[in-house]
Every structure is written in C-alpha cells, then in structure tokens.
C-alpha cells in the first residue's frame, strides 16, 4: 500500500538541522531520532509536521527509505518578533505547576494555550519582575534534513479518522 490521504504511516527518522548565515551554511547537526524503540506514527494529512514533509512521502511504501531537505521557508519559516514577549513572573507560580529553575534562561516552558493545546516558549531573559519568552517554534529559521525508513502503511480506521489520531499499540489508548 502506498502513502496517501487517510493512511496510517509508521516510520523512523533522524532529523538534522542547518542554518544559513549569509553565504555560509552550518554543518547539519542531529536534533531528533525516532528509531524502532520510539517510531513516529501519524495519519497522513494530520502529522503536525510541515506540509512539505508529507508531500515528500506521498506514494512511498513499506520498506522504502527517504532522505530530503526542507528549506526553512517551507518548514517553520523565519522568526516572528511578535512572538517574543515579556510576561509577569507572578504567572509562573508553584500553584500553576512551575518550579523555580524552570525560568532559567534557555529553558523551554511547557504551557497551554487558551484552547487547551500544549505549546512551549523558550526563556530568553530574566527582566526582574518579568521574563522574556520566545513563542516561535524551536526550529524556526532552520533547514530540516530528514533521513528515514517507512515500516508500516495501512488504511486508517473510521474511528482514527474521526478522532484525528492513531489508535492501538503505537497510538492513543482510549
């Protein structure tokens, strides 16, 4: 079976990133590995990854390997200055689930948006009464280098399509 809309895809990959600084591109470095111990499963069309990622997999089958680069503009784009903001430190209390060290510069804070969806922000600077946070995706501005292998392609069940996620051994348990 080939990867197409409404199929469940199971794959492994290594993600490396690089960044262009003027005329010079950095050497790609590894940021994520999804191996046989922790494969990535998704319903095609609903991976949550850049659209170009799924486009590059259309028509592939079990046992096919892949390797491609998604340029920053087709991945997570460039940084948006409007997503960098200062918030009062008193919002990050122990009662709200935050520990003191979580606000250290460079840390990623696990947050929830107004609709209840998980998100994260990188702590850029302690400003005293406020903390400067960057809500841009952590891979914004990077070219994404994917190499991997497809090891499962199957039709999504009506229930999976209805719920929008994979069920079973490698998916969501209800």
Please give the CATH architecture assigned to the domain spanning 7-75+140-163.
Roll (3.10)
Right CATH for 81-134 from 3.30.360.10, 3.90.420.10, 2.40.10.330, 2.40.128.20: 2.40.10.330
Two tokens, residue 169: 């051994």
Give φ, ψ of 75 to 5 degrees.
-100, -100
pTM: 0.81
Measured between alpha carbons, how far is 3 from 133 in angstroms, rounded to an integer? 38
Element holding 26 (H helix, E strand): none
One digit per residue, the tens of pLDDT, for the chain of length 174 reads 999 999 999 999 999 999 987 777 788 999 999 999 999 999 999 888 899 999 999 999 999 999 999 999 999 999 999 999 999 999 888 888 888 789 999 999 988 888 888 889 999 999 999 999 999 999 999 999 999 999 999 999 999 988 888 887 766 555
Q: What are the percentages of helix, strand and coil residues in the chain, rounded to 5?
A: 15, 40, 45
Per-domain boundaries in the chain:
7-75+140-163, 81-134
In a 3-state reduction of DSSP, which class is residue 15? strand
């Amino acid at each position: 079976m080939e990867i197409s809309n409404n199929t469940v895809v199971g794959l492994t990959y290594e993600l490396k990133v690089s960044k262009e600084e003027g005329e010079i591109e950095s050497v790609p470095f590894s940021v994520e590995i999804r191996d046989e111990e922790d494969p990535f499963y998704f319903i095609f069309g609903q991976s949550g990854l850049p659209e170009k990622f799924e486009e590059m997999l259309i028509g592939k089958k079990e046992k096919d390997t892949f390797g491609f680069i998604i340029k920053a503009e087709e991945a997570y784009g460039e940084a948006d200055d409007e997503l960098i903001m200062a918030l009062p430190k008193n919002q990050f209390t122990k009662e709200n689930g935050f520990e003191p060290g979580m606000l250290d510069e460079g840390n990623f804070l696990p947050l929830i948006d107004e609709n209840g969806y998980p998100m994260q922000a990188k702590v850029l600077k302690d400003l005293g009464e406020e903390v400067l946070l960057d809500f841009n995706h952590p891979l914004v501005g990077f070219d994404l280098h994917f190499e991997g292998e497809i090891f499962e392609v199957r039709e999504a069940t009506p229930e999976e399509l209805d719920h929008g996620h994979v069920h079973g051994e490698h998916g969501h348990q209800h």
